[in-house]
Amino acid sequence: MMNPPRHSKNPTTASCRQLIRVLALLCAIGHSLAMAGEQVLVEGILDAEVHKFNEYSFAPFSSDGDIFILGQLQLWSAWQISPGFQAYALGEIATVEAEGNRTTDSEIQQAALRYSSNPGNSGNSSAFYFIEAGKIVPPIAIASERRLSTQNPLIGQPDLLYAQYPLGIQVAGSLDWLDYRAALVDLPLIDPEYLPSEPGSALRPDVGFGITPLTGLRLGVAHTKGPYLNNNVNADLPPGSDWKDYDQRVWGLEFQFSRGYAELNSELVFTRYDVPFQTESTDVMAYFVEFKYTLTPRFYCAFRLERNEYPLVYDGGVSYWFAQKVTVHSVEIGLGYRFSPDTQFKLAYRHDYGDEAYGMGGYGDDEYGGGAYGTPDLYPLGHSLALQLSHHFDVVSWFQADK
Amino acid sequence: MSGNLQTRLRAPAVTITFWLALSLFLLPAGVHAQSDMPTATGTILGQVLISRKLASKRMRFRLYPGFKPLPPPTGVEGIDDERANVVIYLKSVPLTAVAPASGDAPQIKQVGETFVPHVLPIVQGTTVDFPNQDPIFHNVFSLSGTKSFDLGRYPKGDSRSVTFEQTGIVPVFCHLHSNMSAIVLVLDNSFFSTPNAEGRYRIEGIPAGTYTVVGWHERSEPVEQQVEVLAGQVVELNIVIPIADDEPSAP
């Protein structure tokens, strides 16, 4: 599932054409290299989704009760430059249609060079690390690594750590039962919907480690700290301060357990924001618990409980900054059916509600059926129903077989 | 009275013992006669040649590598090893000639994030074990119409079993590691063989008759050839498994 359109950039036809050209080029290169027997991989996922919301749903796609249709292609390619060295890129193009309007968006989300200490010579080695640099997925949230529709047991995504694709460098690996990762990235994990503007680019550390005391159980912690505003707000800040003086600090706890036909993933995140002119920081907490159970070889079911506190940081001009917390609870239940190992269908129902309905008209009025500032009915109950058909494909394999 | 009773009880026991002894005497003789009938069966042997493209390796890559090392590249190091993924079998064998499955349950191990062997030919009705020898979970499954199953996640040292009742091709995968795959080729008879490293194969004990010999590889169309097996004779039959625009390898 793509990032919510309410966060997406304006449609850019030129960039779409450019992306299509790039992807076509990848396919052509994949074909050529496959024919030459070289080390190349070109894979993709094609998603088709239909969503139906009621007026007040807090689901990622808000279309005021209309039916929302999404078509999305994610395509990635990797090259084995030399043993241990790989270059890879992932691009996404998505078309959404709601209320008679069609919007197309595209983005190169990941593009990086990766060096692995183990270039695939020993799958049983207990020590392993990799270094990658470029446009990467930040290593803070485990959910971000399970965002592809083939990995996500539901259709919606956990919203506690918004998926950004920063520029950065990362080192990660494992040593027996210990895993670790450390990165320097230039963007925070934050939903720009709740900020005065898109976060600016500034280096911040992301660190984390985890332990696997027994197979199938992993406990992890993560932390990051860095600026979350941008230089557009400098004029509204206290004299002598800079947007980089105001930090977002994140502490994350990760829990993963699986056994037999059951799989549990959970994440708890505390986030603290420094807000200009405010003597106290704004603290928010979010978590999700996601459970999946395989019923038969083809059928599985899943649910996700989610609680998100969103920090609405408001820049009302010089000396007029404040932040409000908005709490939204969500539950999503779904049923999946596998037509084949590469093709699956999902049906999911999502229910949202807010128990602390405070906010500002400027953020909530149009999109969330909101009322005036401070009214308790800003986030009434909402629900949505969604269908998703996703198919994974491997371009190189098309050229390596005779049938 | 008691003596009569003893006699009456002993009489059937003696009878059973007699027939059991006779059966034990005759049974091995029969088996021996069947397996020692050089005049009734023949042998097919030969060389398997395959396209170089069938041995092409696949790159290992994980978009989100997690914290575990990458497994070895899929496929094999060379064309010689790829011949191990070829199966030569007889099609349309008369039921009377079908040998039953025997011996220990064959295995497909999960080791180094790879299914070993990659291709396993079996006779229908055979139970296959799937032991996990990796220090991580695997989740073996198949959605094949021939046999669908999901073995769930189990740790190193554990094993699960599946019995394959129907003939057909059963692709096997791991939910957790998309680069893992294997194939169980369920056949209706035991007259099959896998070439050795030199590409030589041999199928023995074939009742005299005319058969279709099939050379099978997962990425190629099956290659079929007719052959007549004469009693007590050895038939030499080379199998070439091509991909249209590639030359087969030299042995």
Interface residue B247 vs chain A (CB under 8 A): no
Mark yes or no for CB contact A215/B143 under 8 Å. Answer: no
Profile chain A (403 residues) by mean pLDDT over runs of 10 residues.
37 56 65 61 92 68 70 90 88 86 89 80 64 89 77 88 84 89 90 82 93 93 94 88 93 94 95 90 93 96 92 82 85 96 95 60 39 45 88 82 61
Residue-level pLDDT at A3? 37
Of B60 and B57, which is predicted with more confidence? Answer: B60
Look at the block and give the residue holding tokens 């077989």.
Answer: A401
Please state, in angstroms and rounded to a whole number, the distance separating the CA atoms of residues A331 and A303. Answer: 7
In B, which residues are within 8 Å of A340 by CB distance?
Answer: 143
Q: Which residues of B touch A34 (CB under 8 A)?
A: 56
- Say if residue A341 is preceded by a cis peptide, omega within 30 of 0: no
**ipTM field:** 0.79
Mean pLDDT of B144-164: 95
Residue spans of beta strands (DSSP E) within A176-246: 178-185, 204-214, 217-227
What 3-state class would DSSP assign to A277? Answer: coil
Smallest CA-to-CA distance from A302 within A336, A328, A275 is with: A336
B240 in reach of chain A (CB within 8 A):
no
First and final C-alpha spacing in chain B: 81
- From residue A58, alpha-carbon distances to A95, A162, A177, A384 in Å are 21, 15, 39, 9
Interface of B with A in 208-237 (CB under 8 A): 219-221
CB contacts < 8 A (A, B): 130
**Which of B53, B70, B223 should we substitute to test contact with A (largest number of A Cβ atoms within 10 Å)?**
B70
Structure confidence at residue A336 (pLDDT)? 97
Task: Give the model's pLDDT for residue A360.
Answer: 37
Residues of A within 8 A of B154 (CB-CB) are 260
Q: Which is higher by pLDDT, B14 or B206?
A: B206
CB contact (8 A) between residue B150 and residue A297: yes
**Averaged pLDDT for residues B225-247:** 83
Best of A35, A77, A115, A402 to disrupt the B interface (most B CBs within 10 Å) is A402
The per-residue pLDDT for A226 is: 94
**Contact between chains at B70 and A180 (C-beta distance less than 8 A):** no
Residue of B69, B152, B242 with shortest CB distance to A294: B152
> 77-136 in B: which are within 8 Å (CB) of A?
111-114, 134-136
Phi/psi of residue A24, nearest 5 degrees: -60, -40
Q: What local confidence, expressed as pLDDT, does residue B216 receive?
A: 93
- What is the predicted pLDDT for the residue at B33? 33
Chain B residues closer than 8 Å to A261 by CB: 150, 152-153
- Residue B224's CB is within 10 A of a number of other CB atoms, namely 12
Q: How far apart are CA A135 and CA B32, in angstroms?
A: 71
CB A146 within 8 A of CB A158: no
Per the prediction, chain B carries an average pLDDT of 78
CB atoms within 10 A of CB A366: 11
CA B50 to chain centre: 20
Exposure string (b/e) for A325-334, b if CB count within 10 Å is 16 or more? Answer: ebbbebbbbb
Please tell me which of the candidates B113, B150, B171 has its beta carbon nearest to residue A123.
B113
pLDDT at A318: 75
Distance from CA of A265 to the nearest CA of B (A): 14
Chain A residues near residue B63 by CB distance under 8 angstroms: 76, 88, 90, 110, 148
What predicted TM-score, i.e. pTM, was given to this entire model?
0.81
Assign B22 a pLDDT band (cuts: 50, 70, 90): very low
- In the block, tokens 């249709």 appear at A69
pLDDT, tens digit (0-9, with 9 covering 90-100), for B110-147:
998 889 999 999 999 999 999 999 988 999 999 999 99
**Do A258 and B137 make contact, defined as CB atoms within 8 angstroms?**
yes
CB-closest option in A88, A180, A298 to B61: A88
Nearest alpha-carbon partner for A204 in A180, A178, A186: A186
